[in-house]
Amino acid sequence: MRRKRLVLPAALAAVLLLAMSCALVGMAAMPPSLATQRMDGFARWRSAAPQNYRVLVEVGIGDRTCLQEIEVHGIEHALLHDTCGSSWLSTLAVPRLFELGERLERPAECFPSNRNCVCRRVRVGAVQYDAHFGFPGTITWRRELRPNWQHPDYIARLLETRELPNCAAASRALHLTVISLTPLP
């Protein structure tokens, strides 16, 4: 009789131990977060970055492709060639590439405004960092609108109009590729 009492707790403990082991193995197999990847890349950039460099970046926005070539001397930037002509891109030196990559980590935003939050805008994409220097070698993202189910504005709109809010919008993808980064004397 005493053995029967010990079997159930031992079996439960074994199942719990197995579940915890599976969870730990699953967590170990997960890729590092975007923030961790960025911080690792930035640490490599800070330790191995040339003081002066020339960078050539190909930019794809929607179906349009353009190039920017920038020369950097310390904190000074010189735009050598720019077929993009887009003010929001500004000069795509490495610090700006890190900033654009970091945008993937930002939380969803209310759309169309904070007063009417029936949809939320999120950025979906990836950043690949250069193995040696650590700079963002490739950045791809697009903005998507998604229903904001948990927000009171969504429920109010649904009750008012008796139809689901349209959270579909055309999204232009952004694709940045560092074609070359050349250290300068």
Q: Encode pLDDT of 10-41 as tens digits.
A: 666 666 666 666 555 554 556 678 899 999 99
**What does pTM read for this prediction?**
0.75
- In the predicted model, is pLDDT for residue 177 greater than 70? yes
Domain ranges, ordered by start, for the chain: 1-30, 33-183
Note the pLDDT of residue 69. Answer: 97
- Terminal CA-to-CA distance of the chain, rounded, Å? 83
Angle at 146 between CA 145 and CA 149, to 5 degrees: 145
Average pLDDT over residues 4-11: 62
